[in-house]
Amino acid sequence: MSIPESIKSKRPTQFGAVEIRCIGGHYYTYLVSSKWDAAKGRPQKVTGKSIGKITEADGFIPNANGLRLMQEMRLTPDIAPVVKNYGAYETLRQLSPNLGAKLKEYFPDIFREIRTISLLRLVDSVTSAKMIQPVFLDSYMSDICSDIAVSEGSVRRFIARLGTMQDTLDAFMRSQVMPGTTLLFDGTSIFSRSADSLAAKGYNPEHSQNPQARILYVFEKDSHRPVFYRVVQGSIVDKAAFMDTVNAAGCSDCIIVADKGFYSKKNVSALISAGMRFILITRLSAKDTDGVMKPEGVFH
């Protein structure tokens, strides 16, 4: 995509050679240099870090890297103030003060990437790896984690790596399940047209025939926190994957509450054999005098 002249005209000159790139409809400025390629017998361009973005209204707006370079060069140009998304990110960080330390315990080399990319996806509903970088640069997370790689390729490689660490992911989630608590189980469908091996036709409340994967969530009743999840093939019903999820979550001395989608005589027998306390909804009974369907269940 060609860069408009109105954007090119606002290219910063104080940093030397720079390049403007369009990412997600926004224009970002990168340092560029060159090095001699002996094999090709000619110079080769080297793209450095982003130093800010350019808008038609405000011109060049430096990011943390750009401001740091300006300070080093003792430059004080007349520039627009830098405005970044802050409140939602800081609120979530304050609501989970121990999460960073817990992530570091299980993922010592990538815990900052996990926290940062998760926050970006949660706050801004980012689903595409391509959009992580522009959202990152617009957030104050780029100030406190300016050295992490957030290009599309880097994010894709990071997610692929994380997907190979299922045992560590399970161990981290099990550490969040507190003994003696009440756990709520729920299942949901994620529809997909990709060639993922988990995508298959199966039951869902919407009666959609599109391929799906099923996610089984475990929530802590009092804190409302999600503490464990498991992804299963879309053709597997919740009740078939229920006990595997209970065991994988390391439920111990807990009260398990689940709806009718998880009920089966086999599951009830397994829960009783394991000494678990539980409430399983079996079906909806006839309407009461108020015309409301009442659930019936198994309690132990």
Closest CA to 129 of 150, 107, 109, 112: 150
What average pLDDT does this structure show over 142-157?
Answer: 85
Burial of 203 (0-12, 13-18, 19+ CB in 10 A): middle
Q: What per-residue confidence (pLDDT) applies to 297?
A: 61
Looking up tokens 């039951």, which residue turns up? Answer: 203
> pLDDT tens-digit profile of 216-247?
999 998 888 889 999 989 888 888 888 999 98
Confidence at residue 75, expressed as pLDDT on a 0 to 100 scale = 52
Residue among 246, 289, 290 nearest 268 (CA): 246
pLDDT at 32: 87
Q: What is the DSSP letter of 117?
A: H
pLDDT band at 296 (very low <50, low <70, confident <90, very high): low
pLDDT band at 184 (very low <50, low <70, confident <90, very high): very high
Segment 127-136, tens digit of pLDDT: 888 888 888 8
Question: Which listed CATH number (3.30.450.40, 3.90.350.10, 3.40.50.300, 3.30.1330.10) goes with 176-299?
Answer: 3.90.350.10
pLDDT of 186-213, one tens digit each? 988 888 877 777 888 888 888 888 899 9
Q: Name the pLDDT band for 124 (thresholds 50, 70, 90).
A: confident
Residue 178: what are its φ and ψ, rounded to 5°? -90, 130
Q: What is the mean pLDDT of residues 149-170?
A: 91
Q: Where residue 158 falls among pLDDT bands split at 50, 70, 90?
A: very high
Quote the pLDDT of residue 144: 82
pLDDT of residue 134: 85
Task: Please list, in sequence order, all residues whose beta carbon lies within 8 angstroms of the beta carbon of residue 237, skipping any fewer than 6 positions away.
Answer: 202, 203, 214, 261
At residue 172 the predicted structure's pLDDT band, cuts being 50, 70 and 90, is: very high
Spatial distance between the Cα atoms of 130 and 153, rounded to a whole number of angstroms: 8
User: Does residue 80 carry a pLDDT above 80?
Assistant: no
Q: Which residues contact 190 (CB under 8 A, 6 or more apart)?
A: 212, 213, 214, 215
Distance separating alpha carbons of residues 43 and 188, to the nearest angstrom: 54
Q: CA angle, corner 177, sides to 227 and 265, nearest 5?
A: 85
Beta-strand runs (E) in 38-108: 42-55, 59-62
Top-confidence residue, 287 or 297: 297
The pLDDT score that the predictor gives to residue 114 is 94
The residue extents of the domains of the chain are: 5-72, 87-164, 176-299
The pLDDT of residue 81 is: 59
Amino acid at 31: L
Strand order in the sheet with 26-37: 18-23, 26-37, 42-55, 59-62
